[in-house]
Amino acid sequence: MKLRKPARFAGTTREMACGKIHRATVTEADLDYVGSITIDQDLLDAADIFVGQKVDIVNVNNGARLSTYTIAGERGSGVIKINGAAAHHANPGDIVIIMAYAHVQEKFAQQMEPAVVLVDEHNRILHNGNDLGQIPAKLGKKTGRRPGGKTPRSSGTSQPQATNGSGAKTGGQKASGRRGIVNWFKSRA
């Protein structure tokens, strides 16, 4: 079987990872705030992520994945605040990975070097680099990863508990499967 070469057109772009904040700790989740994620401006700068840029957020604790845009937080504060409806998918203390992308002309895509920022549990920068898939051996324990890229799995799962801005929980549990949905409705009765 002969493989067909993909068609390439002048001006073709590829969506490439351009910035990543690896294993940040969520500091707040506010349902009543108008959408987005608030990120410490120092972290945005280090990861080369612009204010207003679209990002994907992956919650390591519960597997949720969502897209939103960034808002600058106070420099040096370590803030990672999930806002609006997205707050249903994260709790303070959850570990998230924040990734930004850029459309790059195909001829430059292979040369693209993303800005990768590794942080500690207080969202302080431990390492700046450009390797999306490698954690320096000396940082393995500090980032919750083992050298070589393996992540220890936790035995428990986190159920999101969003707040209404005043700190009161709103019961933002995620219902999964038929039994989960039935139990969620029963808890509302």
Q: Confirm whether 22 is domain-assigned.
A: yes
Q: Which residue has the higher pLDDT, 3 or 8?
A: 3
Tens digits of residue pLDDT in 144-162: 544 444 444 443 444 444 4
Q: Please state, as a whole number, how many other Cβ atoms lie within 10 Å of the Cβ of residue 21.
A: 27
d(CA 146, CA 136): 9
* Positive/negative CA dihedral, 129, 134, 137, 140: positive
Number of independent structural domains in the chain: 1
Tens digits of residue pLDDT in 34-53: 879 999 999 999 999 999 99
* 84 marked ligand binding residue: yes
pLDDT tens-digit readout, 54-101: 999 999 999 999 999 999 999 999 999 999 999 999 999 999 999 999
Range of the domain at 24: 13-188
**Would you say residue 8 lies in a domain?**
no
Q: Tell me, yes or no, whether 2 lies in a domain.
A: no
CATH of the domain at 50: 2.40.40.20
Q: Is 56 exposed, middle or buried (0-12, 13-18, 19+ CB in 10 A)?
A: middle
pLDDT tops 60 at residue 181: no
The DSSP code for 153 is P
Q: Which of 33, 67, 69, 158 is catalytic?
A: 69
In the residue annotation, 36 being an active-site residue is answered as: yes
68 known member of a binding site: yes
Instruction: Say how many C-beta atoms besides its own lie within 10 A of residue 10's C-beta.
Output: 7
Instruction: Tell me if 4 is assigned to some domain.
Output: no
Coil vs helix vs strand at 109 = helix
Asked if 176 is an active-site residue, the reply is: no
134 vs 106: which has the higher pLDDT: 106
More confident residue, 107 or 43: 43
Number of Cβ atoms within 10 Å of the Cβ of 181: 11
Please indicate, yes or no, if residue 1 is contained in any of the structural domains: no
**Does position 105 have pLDDT exceeding 80, yes or no?**
yes
**So what's the pLDDT on residue 140?**
62
Catalytic residue, chosen from 33, 36, 67, 187, is: 36
Chain mean pLDDT for the chain: 79
Q: Whole-model pTM?
A: 0.72
In a domain, 183, yes or no: yes
Q: What is the mean pLDDT of residues 10-34?
A: 93
Domain assignment present for 6? no
More confident site: 128 or 166:
128
d(CA 40, CA 125): 11
Q: Does the residue 175 lie in any domain?
A: yes
Residue 97: what pLDDT? Answer: 97
Distance between CA atoms of residues 19 and 48, nearest Å: 6
